[in-house]
Amino acid sequence: MKVITCFSYKGGSGRTVAASNLATSLASTRKIAAIKQPLSHRVAILDLDVFSAGTHRVFEVSNDDIERRNREGGLFLQDYLTEEIEPARLLEQGTLTLDDPTLRRFATGIAEGCCEEHFTLFPSRPGPDEQFVVAKYHENLLLELILELERVGFDYAVLDGESGTRSMADIALRLADVVLMFFRLTWQHVDGTLNFAKHSLASPGEQPAIYLIPTCVPLVAATDGIYQEDAPGLGLLRIQTETIPGAGLNELAEREARGVGYFWSRRQCIHESLVLKGSERVIVYDPTIGRDQAAADYYQIAKELSERHPA
């Protein structure tokens, strides 16, 4: 089994929407919308942004749905991290699959028959009251959970971690076989992301595979083909990165084109979730959205990751 950690140095990069679309692309079981060829992996996505949980919303599960599940005795990742709960029990009582009523809108809307039993969500409770001190033993607990997922036959675990260099984000990074670093093309995002990537490349010992993945919207009008791969806005965005003092984003991407810069040097571009306001959700299965470039990019990245890092 491979662990894919989705990370962003700063918030607002569209990380959670991307993580969810990548996870469902990996779990796809039939051709539909952006899914050109089903990847058919058994995938778990874990919401490790435990102090600001939101992955459930991408799957059209409301906070009220989560609260109702909480009242009915359902478990969440916070329970696993703060109480003595066996991984097998969390698998039984702390997951959402497509046959769970809580995922009814997602399942009956666009996902029915698209990933079947291949997809599992480990949600966290949203809310400011979910506060605890992250400690080393939490990393051990998550490692135990990952080993349990591997034991029962999962192919990939996608960790939607915190943004920044906070404790839970650090744990998610240390557990990773693959790190996807999502960033917007602003100097704050680029500067922090590049510093992190360069530090990782210079660190001794075995490191996870790291990929830079920009989330941005080509700077062209919709009538000019905003979702076309060859839209002139893509070139303009690349030029704009040169204006970030000392960044060297394009140089690093080209120099490390087989690794860290793989997706950026290939001019891959995921459109940030802000362009989908009101639809910050899984789009790779949706025939009404799933043919645009954003959905195609989600699927293509998932496909290439599965080939470069097979389970």
Distances (CA, A) of 231 to 225, 254, 268, 273: 6, 20, 12, 19
Cα of first residue to Cα of last residue in the chain, in angstroms, is 5
Q: What is the pLDDT along the chain (311 residues), one digit of tens a residue?
A: 999 999 999 988 889 999 999 999 999 999 999 999 999 999 999 999 999 999 999 999 999 999 999 999 999 999 999 998 999 999 999 999 999 999 988 998 888 889 988 999 999 999 767 688 899 999 999 999 999 999 999 999 999 988 887 889 999 999 999 999 998 877 788 888 988 898 888 888 888 999 999 887 554 444 544 444 555 555 666 666 666 665 688 788 889 999 999 988 776 778 766 556 666 889 999 887 755 778 888 999 999 999 999 99
108 CB-contact burial (10 Å; exposed 0-12 / middle 13-18 / buried 19+): exposed
Phi, psi for residue 270 in degrees, rounded to 5 = -95, 135
User: Tell me, what's the pLDDT at 181?
Assistant: 95
What span, in angstroms and rounded, lies between the C-alpha atoms of 116 and 204? 41
Distances (CA, A) of 226 to 184, 214, 231: 17, 16, 6
CATH class for the region spanning 2-308: alpha beta
Domain ranges of the chain: 2-308
Encoding tokens for residue 48? 């490790």
